[in-house]
Amino acid sequence: MAKTLNIGLVGCGFMGRAHANAYRQVGPFFDLPYRLVLKACYGRADNRDKLEAFAARWGVESVETDWRQLVTRDDIDVVDVCVPNHMHHDVVVAAAQAGKIVLCEKPLAMNTAEGEAMVAAVEKAGVANLIWFNYRRVPAIALFKQIVDEGRVGRPFHYRAVYNQDYTIDESVPQGGRALWRLDAKVAGSGVTGDLLAHSIDTAEWINGPISQVVAATETFVKERPHAETGEVAPVAIDDACMFLARFANGSMGTFESTRYARGRKNRNTMEMNGENGALCFDLEDPHVLGFYRYADPQTGRKVEDHLAGWQRIHVTNFDHPYMDKWWVPGCTIGYEHTFTNTLADFLTGLHDGSPAQPNLRSGLRTQLVCDAVLESARAGAWVDIPA
């Protein structure tokens, strides 16, 4: 008999939609011992129409305009945090204290100190928890990790990640408010570092192990912007662009680049790794494809004959590829929204088996630590060590 889990969504914007869709999809596509009920969702009181329309569209049973009310309701089992970053700490701590299962969007927090308090709260309460670094569940990225773990890349030399967008180039774009809170440091914490590079760092450490040192540079191209809510022109305190060099504990080197000023790039998330035996590359603009360059067999050490060497374009849609046996038939692609469904399926499987899925909030804290070190390095203009 499937156990019912009542979900409380805190936030009903972009991620509210992505998660609501995952809760609806996960049951029919994965074999799980849970029945998920979208019990309640929170949205701002000044936008109640949107909140009610969201609840009606996604079949959420009730609405709340006070998130504290939602997280303490007896009929809520899971609190899912999909609000801007400055709220993550308070919602997560209150949910943990109320004994709820906690799922939280990235970045974990505004800074490491907040993140530590959040991890302490979920660990003290002993509640299951997860941070939504959903890109780990792109089948081609999961295959990237599998191939590295199989030793087919061998000793790693280079890891390079890019995460670029272009939506803030126009100087008239305001900061703050409902749609553009990502430009307001008081709400977002940081700019591209916490928003985009957090994803790249999470994926990089998952695939290539811990980063031990970073040196970074950031830039804010438009120095002042009007605030959407007050109209006041105020200095922009977030990083519009961030680039950093990294040393990984395994001896390899990394480069990371992120900007919201890469004209033509909407959500370009790429990664490449070059090792002794081979190389891998991925580009989210071509999400079902993994590039693999095979140089030598890790078992025998035998090299691929020169005339056959070349990049292989793996169409990651076979039943043998991560997650793909749960969706359609070989050759049929899946998309962005499935990464959330795959994440949720792994979380629920771990919850049932007692083998908690990663990344949990403690992993999110690790990424937060690296983000903070990157920003500290940019301020200091010096290499910063990152504790193991």
Would you tell me which residues interact with ligand NAD (CB under 6 A)?
A: 11-16, 43-44, 47, 82-85, 105-106, 132, 134, 178, 181, 187, 195
Closest residue to ligand NAD, judged by C-beta, is 13
Q: Name the strand (E) or helix (H) holding 344.
A: helix 336-353
Give the Å distances, CA to CA, from 121 to 43, 50, 96, 97.
Answer: 24, 32, 6, 7
Q: Which is nearer to ligand NAD, 154 or 226 (CB)?
A: 226
- What is the spatial order of strands in the sheet that 3-10 belongs to? 62-64, 34-42, 3-10, 78-81, 101-104, 129-131
Q: Which is nearer to ligand NAD, 132 or 206 (CB)?
A: 132
Nearest alpha carbon to residue 372 among 353, 361, 388, 385: 385
Least distance from C-beta 238 to ligand NAD, angstroms? 13
> What whole-number distance in Å separates Cα of residue 120 and Cα of residue 156?
34
Q: Which is nearer to ligand NAD, 187 or 279 (CB)?
A: 187
DSSP 8-state symbol, 306:
G
Q: Are 203 and 251 in contact (CB under 8 A)?
A: no
Least distance from C-beta 299 to ligand NAD, angstroms? 37
Least distance from C-beta 317 to ligand NAD, angstroms? 22
Q: Are 384 and 377 in contact (CB under 8 A)?
A: yes
Q: Which is nearer to ligand NAD, 43 or 115 (CB)?
A: 43
Q: Which is nearer to ligand NAD, 85 or 252 (CB)?
A: 85
User: HSE on the CB side for 60, CA within 13 Å?
Assistant: 29
Q: Are 127 and 101 in contact (CB under 8 A)?
A: yes
Q: Which is nearer to ligand NAD, 184 or 279 (CB)?
A: 184
Least distance from C-beta 154 to ligand NAD, angstroms? 31
Least distance from C-beta 202 to ligand NAD, angstroms? 10
Least distance from C-beta 361 to ligand NAD, angstroms? 13
